[in-house]
Amino acid sequence: MNEGLILSLHAINAIQFGKFKLRSGMLAPIYLDLRLLASHPRALRDAAHALMQILGKLKFDRIAAIPYAALPIGTAIALEMDRPLIYPRREKKEYGTGHPVEGEFRRGDTVVLLDDLITTGAIKSQALEPLLAEGLLVRDIVVLIDHEQGGVEELVARGYRVHAALTIREVLQVLKETSKISESQHQDVLTFLMQKNMG
């Protein structure tokens, strides 16, 4: 199942190789653009099903999807699992209700935080703030891909359980074995990941 999902993500160009400038200013040999899933229903369904395998083993009242990439994924899962969806706003709302968390919920509800991928964990920490401030309980964080750059360890150290459907090394291995990338591309990304982790 994971191989099929990885090949599906590669086919829609959600996994790209080249030179990409990161938020930190560094150049990376790989870029994951999982926002493209919204334009590819079949791949979106595959991603949702992979995450549902994890979610089906967890206890929660609602799914909290992080804007923007996780919103279509979360919606697909909510429809398939018949579970309510909420989301923390990325920017403060200065009009209307002014709610920092959109959707219906009650204080004390347990929510699973959902995102497309995890790198450093900073975005997850930002998303957790309004949820916790509203009295919601978060024990589990579920992502499609772990970029293996320390984010999981950071959140686990804070007491959260982090679950990933795929790791970046699994993605690379499948793409190499199916001749979608060369040995040199594979090594370039592995070297980059090691440098990032050492830094």
Q: Of 98, 147, 93, 95, which Cα lies nearest the Cα of 123? A: 147
Q: Is residue 199 in a domain? A: no
23 vs 18, more confident:
18
The pTM (predicted TM-score) of the whole model is 0.93
Domain count, the chain: 1
Residue 199 has pLDDT above 60, yes or no: no
Alpha helices in the chain (DSSP H): 2-11, 41-55, 70-81, 122-133, 151-157, 168-177, 183-198
CA distance 21 to 45: 29
State how far the Cα of 108 lies from the Cα of 136, in Å rounded to an integer: 5
What pLDDT is recorded for position 127? Answer: 95
- Domain with residue 106: its CATH number is 3.40.50.2020
pLDDT exceeds 80 at position 94: no
Question: 106-110, 120-124, 174-178: lowest mean pLDDT where?
Answer: 120-124
Indicate whether 150 belongs to any domain: yes
Rounded Cα distance between 142 and 161, Å, is 8
Mean local confidence (pLDDT), 169-187 = 96
198 inside domain: no
User: What pLDDT is stored for residue 96 in this prediction?
Assistant: 56
Reply yes or no on whether the pLDDT at 1 is more than 80.
no
